[in-house]
Amino acid sequence: MPGDLRGIRVIAVEQAVAAPLCTRHLADLGAEVVKIERPGGGDFARGYDESVHGLASHFVWLNRGKRSVVLDLKTDPGRQALRQLLAGADVLVCNLAPGALGRIITDEALAELNPRLVRCYLSGYGPAGPYAGRKAYDALVQGEAGTISATGTPETPAKPGVSLADLAGGSYALSAVTSALYARERTGLGQRIDIALFDVLLEWMSPLLLAELHSGSAPPPAGLRHASIAPYGPYTTADGQDVLIAVQNEGQWQRLCRTVLAAPELLADPDFGSNSARVRHRERTERAVQARLITLSTAEVTARLEAADVPHARLNQIADVLAHPQAEAAGRWSEATLPDGRAVRVVTSPLHRTPEPPGGRRVPGLGEHTAEVLAELGLTEADTAEREPAG
């Protein structure tokens, strides 16, 4: 079945993670995504590693279902070909360095060239302000936005193991692009969208920022615990395994004490009488819970948590997730085809409501579709090559 965005052409002038995540999902929804890559190496994410039969895991993840076109945007023929592509496109998604695309064609000129074009620009800090010209990679933006200071422990700040700023930016870009396409159905006009990774992380940091702003003190980083909730985090069982428990309300706390811990006397202790009280007495709370769970096997703890309807989970390693029963039941595994024709196992799109369109799981080789896309413009690869000066 074709996706909801069948007939939508997206020009992706992109690299790394944030913009490719947005456009990969647009491809999952049925859009035709034409990925513009530089000569010589293409998207530099192609060179991150060689873990998928010689290809980078990030590139395989983010670029299946796209067509790869090599254009040298430092030359006039390459720039002219890009303008021709944009003239007939529905969406532009771009995350080149600040100002790079504007030196080829300004946003105002784009709007005049193609009034229906939705133009989405992803950057570190947006088009204005003292940081607007900065190149911004994930860890750098996380450092500026404070997410690193809120992660890990007070003694050891940490960056999340996934590219949080890039993932957040790409997700917001997807939402904004689809919304703009819906608006275009009413107005007939495209619009400009600016997604700043810094702005997105400020949104996600709001609880901590508001606490600092209005109380003068944000909760400290809590590692695997929760800065504002207790008990919450990993607890070790008698067989040395960790079980994650997340108590969100007083009913869950009462059931934890009565059914799981078999310690109803904890409910009469004023130090545990509310979440705020348990957070104030966090060390005592954690000790009380841990002291009882360490006497029980993992199987017994899990059975009691299930019986009490107290939220819990395993503390899985990456290898454990590969065999996760929920991922299997939800059909989250499929195959993608590499440029050499080899099939590899990949995670499918989380956008379950629309099946991926036919052919949407092929990872493009660098420049694999240059000739055919240029032919659609009436051009050849020779037409886009830099010409030697006459005479």
**What angle do the packed helices 197-204 and 164-187 form, to 10 degrees?**
100
**Tokens found for residue 112:** 């005049």
Whether 223 and 152 have beta carbons less than 8 Å apart is answered as: yes
Of 40-49, 77-86, 220-229, 255-264, the poorest mean pLDDT is in 220-229
> What's the pLDDT tens digit per position in 315-359?
898 999 999 999 888 888 888 899 999 999 898 888 865 555 444
Q: How do residues 1-37 score in pLDDT, each as one tens digit?
A: 346 899 999 999 999 999 999 999 999 999 999 999 9
Catalytic residue positions, numbered: 166
Looking at residue 353, what is its pLDDT? Answer: 57
pLDDT of residue 83: 96
145-169 pLDDT tens trace: 999 999 988 889 889 889 999 999 9
pLDDT, tens only, 52-99: 999 999 999 999 999 999 999 999 999 999 999 999 999 999 999 988
* pLDDT (tens digit per residue) in 123-145: 999 999 999 999 889 999 999 99
At 360 the pLDDT is 63
- CATH fold label, 9-204+326-384: Rossmann fold (3.40.50)
pLDDT of res. 384: 87
Bridge pairing between strands 333-337 and 343-347 = antiparallel
Domains in the chain: boundaries: 9-204+326-384, 232-315
Q: Strands across the sheet with 312-314, in order?
A: 232-236, 242-246, 312-314
Are the C-beta atoms of 348 and 40 separated by less than 8 Å? no
Question: Quick check: 391 pLDDT over 50?
Answer: no
Superfamily of domain 232-315: formyl-coa transferase, domain 3 (3.30.1540.10)
Q: Quick one: pLDDT at residue 154?
A: 87
User: What are the pLDDT digits (tens) for 296-321?
Assistant: 999 999 999 999 999 999 989 899 99
Q: What is the pTM of this model?
A: 0.89
